Homo-oligomer: A and B are copies of this chain.
Amino acid sequence: MQNAKVGIIGAGRIGQLHANNILRSSQIELKGICDINVTHLKGTNLEKYVPVITEDVSVLLNNAEIDAIFICSSTDTHCHYISQCAEAGKHIFCEKPISFSLEETEQALSKVKEAGVKLQIGFNRRFDTHFSKIHQLINDGKIGNTHMIKITSRDPEPPNEAYIKSSGGMFFDMTIHDFDMVRYLSNSEVKSVSVVASNLVDPVFEKYNDVDTAIITLTFEDGTLATIDNSRKAVYGYDQRIEVFGEDGVMLAENERKSNVKIATNEAVTIDHPKYFFLDRYKIAFEKEIEEFAQSILDNTSLSCTGEDGLQAQKLAIAAKKAWVEKRTVEMHEI
């Protein structure tokens, strides 16, 4: 059995997550990790099992054995590395969002196209058991034409201030996943975007011209309507639900719970909380997305989540930001 050989740029939280998943996979082999500073990897599993740990990106790019690079560095460096990887003829797995600038993203994508390498964007939720089942059932025609898509996406707790400052705002950092999901589930492109939003969770968001609670409303070319509701703080756990309503029925994906135990006492009947956050909820999805990426390289098949998908989600985030700032419905052709 052949393996896909890969390197990772960026060994922060998400980079380490992918690295450890790769170590457990039989389809994919981790040849090297690069970070601007690698001292935090001392004494970890990664140091023991990964042949190359480096602070020099060219060591990975010039390694002929390496088929593909995972870009897990900060968002503002993504496009730079995408271009470099493409030039080096490496396939690319890039974390979301691609960038904050449409120009940068478009340039990077054109480099990818020229080089003829594969580019997958890290929209891991497409690989969630429940959401991918919804996707499949829609395409199987189970509920006929889609009339309405409703996504509930609430984080258990707000990020810290440093993160808020550099995240690009809620629409870029958090809603971007939901923008991709709504596209993944619909068979039409978004026509217009409206937003109502508030600052209800913590004043720190207002400080950075950000919001913490929002309802984004979308209309699609084919008449489908959609809402995404977001909050930076859901005290009961990570709230990730989807409902799709169509001419022949409705489908819902409920939260995953920590356990299926129900307790009834005199005081209350309780069921367990939703899984706490994305590391628990999307554990399997993170594993599946890299398996598909590896498989696609080994079999030279097309990807189900491409740079184009990353670009479209980025455009929706830009439209939402604009709709919020200008307090009006933004048509997608404006972006």
Which residues of A come within 8 Å of B, CB atoms? 1, 24, 26, 45, 129-130, 133-134, 137, 142-143, 145, 147-148, 150, 154, 192, 194, 196-201, 213-215, 217-219, 223-225, 227, 229, 231, 233-237, 239, 245, 247-266, 268-274, 327-329
Contact = CB atoms under 8 A, between A and B. Distances in A.
10 contacts: A133-B261, A201-B247, A213-B223, A214-B225, A215-B225, A236-B269, A237-B264, A248-B265, A264-B273, A269-B271
A249 to B, nearest CB: 4
A171 to B, nearest CB: 15
Contact of A254 (B148, B260, B274): B260
Nearest to A229: B148
B137 A261 contact: yes
Nearest to A214: B225
Contacts of A194: 194, 196, 217, 329
Most chain B CB within 10 A, of A147, A213, A255, A264, is at: A264
Contacts of A261: 130, 133-134, 137, 251-254
Contacts of A236: 249-250, 264-266, 269
Contacts of A237: 264
- Name the 9 nearest CB pairs between A and B, nearest first: A249-B265, A236-B264, A254-B260, A198-B223, A235-B266, A268-B270, A133-B259, A252-B262, A251-B263
A227 B195 CA distance: 12
Nearest to A45: B26
B266 A248 contact: yes
Contacts of A258: 129
A130 B199 contact: no
B247 A200 contact: yes
Contact of A143 (B145, B192, B225, B265): B265
